[in-house]
Copies of this chain bind each other. A is one copy, B any other.
Amino acid sequence: MTNVNTGIRFPSLGNSYGSPTCNSCQTKARSAGEDGEGQCGYLEQVVTSRRRIKRGAVLYNGGDKFGSLFYVRSGFFKTCLSAKDGREQVTGFHMVGDVIGADGIASGQLTTDAVALEDSEVWTMSFDLIEQYSNECPSLRFYFLKTLSNEVVRLQSLALLLGSLRSEERVAVFLINLLEKLKSRGLSQSEVLLRMSRDEIGSFLGIRQETVSRLLRLFSERRILHVDNRHIKVLDSHLLKTMAESQGVMH
């Protein structure tokens, strides 16, 4: 147990459900020399490696054998699912605090590609070790269950967006969610430097890059945003929220 006090932390995932504090195995935690913060020592135990991933590099590919989950320590990733015919769907953007790779649990194979959109650091968490320590530490187990459940909730919302919203609303929702996520991580809530291209935004939102571009200009003209290439500043967050649920044509 060499790394108990190296400052390894699993921060809040930004959904306000908190970090995996260990309430139910306090005995274990205490015997492991943990402090009053309630952080469970087991979390450190499951991390088997720490990797730096360059921008553009692939963390994993769809079809790769599943053996671990990945904790994004810093940087920014996209995950995409590809159809047989080559069409791609970006299924998510992931930043510090996110855990990715859980789609592989079901079949033992990862289903998406994960690509770094900026230089990043990733901690590999062995699934075998997670399984092993899950016996001793219920809160560790619960943490990963919640992570999975959160991903389900997120993808349900994505389905709602893709299935029911007009493109204008999609872009507005995208920006709101992104800023909300940044805010929950203590970063700016009105300004962002996009790590992804228009094309990647479009793929995520189920629209073309040209449409993304046009809508950003529209928002810009309406003084809702200030857009300078990938640098976005929100000028009127109230109006942006209105756009996100503008009672459009589609019902």
Contacts and interface: CB of A to CB of B under 8 A. Distances in A.
A102 interface: yes
A91 B159 contact: yes
- Residue in A102, A103, A152, A245 whose Cβ sees the most chain B Cβ within 10 Å: A152
Given A134-B141, A138-B131, A138-B134, A102 B149 contact: yes
Interface string A158-184: 111011110000000000000000000
A84 to B, nearest CB: 6
Contacts of A148: 102, 105, 145, 148-149, 152
A157 interface: yes
A163 B160 contact: no
Contacts of A88: 164
Interface residues of A, number: 52
Nearest to A147: B106
A107 interface: yes
Interface string A103-136: 1111100011000000000000000000100110
Contacts of A205: 163
B160 A159 contact: no
A89 interface: yes
A247 B158 CA distance: 25
Contact of A153 (B106, B138, B153): B106
Contacts of A245: 83-85
Interface in A76-105: 81, 83-89, 91, 102-105
B153 A103 contact: yes
Nearest to A160: B89
Contact of A141 (B15, B86, B141, B150): B141
Interface of A: 15, 17, 81, 83-89, 91, 102-107, 111-112, 131, 134-135, 138, 141-142, 144-146, 148-153, 155-160, 162-165, 203-206, 245, 247, 250-251
15 contacts: A15-B106, A85-B245, A86-B251, A87-B165, A88-B164, A89-B160, A106-B146, A134-B134, A134-B138, A135-B135, A162-B162, A162-B163, A163-B205, A164-B203, A164-B206
